[in-house]
Structure 1
């Protein structure tokens, strides 16, 4: 297609495409394509369980660098697995190697004349006495914002946006956006599941919508690709 533009998503399970055996778990990246013009293609490279460190070390960033073209976009969202500092394969320090790793993603975009966009981590559904916990992903969202400001890279604070949204609708109502299933409802989760990190289809669509709304309200070049 003439003037085709690709949006690459580098991230973790909150954004990733899901296998049939994981459904109804859904990543927000799966709901993204519907918002963009016909000449825009989404390449979702987000992978379950990855941090900035493991994504780079396993060669996934290198794979993006091989195919990303001038004028394409690279959306970067990590934090949930960087939080797992007890795991040497994944854990990073928010104001240390996490920021250094973000720099590697940005350098790839700049080397290929593509546009980077940082997204802070989407919130976990974590309530304390009916008040949502703004620190459910630790200091990683703030560390990303600091990195973005220091390096003059665009950032959307979707952590703040999703935290405010989930906090506003409340503890009980917010369950319908996450992977909460009673026993016997899903073949994939016969025992049921209570997962306050991953989204169901409705939750993924809502997060995608919130990201798109933030892009619409910005002056980012990505805004020009929306329908």
Structure 2
């Protein structure tokens, strides 16, 4: 493999991890919005009147979740090798380090990290590194253990059986993710410009999630999914 080919492989792998990372950011941002919506219900209607119902954010969550598997598949189709360890080991180190950072250096409990509205640099740094570690971990998840790989293969088999509904749902939820992003944008511009910076994270990640949904649907990512090959029978002598 030439240097140019190696660079292309690395860039494609990085792109795959970035898509997973964005999906996780969407989950983190939307989790906080939904939590606030239910805690404050019926006194807060998020981003009304531009967003007709706060429950639509559940479909934005679905868009992010549906995008994770085909995004990871982009990278898993490549043979990048590894530097010293598998990616999941580095992901575990980042997860452990960021968890310790949040525990010792922020006032927010780890389990509540994505359910509080905070502009603290330390809190947001903890969120970013936690999600980055999780993205690395998910990218290499099948290599963690044979049992996990078997569980993922079982899920892949089930997904193959409903690949057409998943394809349609990916398109629908992609539209909803972009609609949610537009609603937050309009609400920020016309109603609450002081929240432009914190809202920008949710806006950008929702738009990227929606665009990713359309791009993967155009490539028919879910329609092209194939069931895992059965393992060869073991011979006992």
Q: Which has the higher contact order (CA 8 A, sep 6+)?
A: 2
TM-score (norm 1): 0.27
Q: Indicate the structure with greater strand content.
A: 1
Q: Indicate the structure with greater helix content.
A: 2
